[in-house]
Amino acid sequence: MANIIRRDPFYEMDRQINALRRNMDRIFNDLLGGVGDLIPYSSEADVFGDIRVDVLERDNDVLIKADVPGINEKDIDIEVTDNDVTISGKYEEETKDEGKGYIVHERRSGAFSRTIPMNVDIVPDKAQAKFNNGVLEITIPKAEGSKRKSIKLKIDKGENK
C-alpha cells in the first residue's frame, strides 16, 4: 500500500511571507532604532521601548514600579514635583564590534525619560526610592487632604411618613 502525504498548498507561501516580515522588521529597526531619543514619549504607541511602569494608589501613598533592566542605579534620575514624577536615565552604550559577527543586535543604548502625572496630591519631599533586580520602586506619601475617606451610610427603609 502506498503512503499518501498531504501537502499544505500554502505552507511555502506562509514561510516566504514570514521571512519577508522578519526582513522588513530588521530594516525598520535598523533605520529607526537610533531615533527613539529624538521623539518624545507617546503613551499611544510605545514604539521605541521606553520604560514600563505600574502606578498603584494605596490608602496613604502612591507606589510606582518601573522596569529598568540592565541599568545601574547611579544612572537613574528621579524628579518628583507636586504634579508628576519623572524617571530618566541612560543605558550605557556597549561598543559594537563589527568583527564579532553579530547576527542580531537589538539591545538598546541611549537616554530614556518617562513622566507620570499624579492625579492625587502628594508630598514630594517625603518620596523614597528602592532599586532591586532591575525594578525601581518609588513610594510617595499622599497629602493629608487627598487621602480617601469612607463612611458607612445607614439606609432608611423608605417608609412614607
Please state the domain count of the chain: 1
How many degrees, rounded to 5, is the angle at CA 125 between CA 124 and CA 126? 90
* Within-domain flag for 122: yes
* Within-domain flag for 11: no
How confident is the model at residue 32, as a pLDDT? 67
Residue 116 has pLDDT above 50, yes or no: yes
* Within-domain flag for 28: no
How confident is the model at residue 6, as a pLDDT? 63
For the segment 5-46, what is each residue's pLDDT rounded down to a tens digit? Answer: 666 676 677 778 878 888 887 787 777 655 544 444 444 334
Instruction: Enter the pTM of the model.
Output: 0.59
Helix H segments across the chain?
A: 11-32
* Within-domain flag for 6: no
Which segments within 69-155 are labelled E, that is strand?
76-80, 84-91, 110-117, 128-132, 135-141
* Within-domain flag for 119: yes
Quick one: what percent of the chain has pLDDT higher than 90?
Answer: 30
How confident is the model at residue 7, as a pLDDT? 66
* Within-domain flag for 5: no
CATH number, domain at 65?
2.60.40.790
Average pLDDT over residues 137-156: 81
Average pLDDT over residues 88-116: 74
* Within-domain flag for 15: no
Residue 124 has pLDDT above 50, yes or no: yes
Structural domain harbouring 70:
39-144
Residue 121 has pLDDT above 80, yes or no: yes
Residue 73 CA: distances (Å) to CA of 48, 107, 116, 126, 131: 22, 19, 19, 19, 7
How confident is the model at residue 44, as a pLDDT? 34
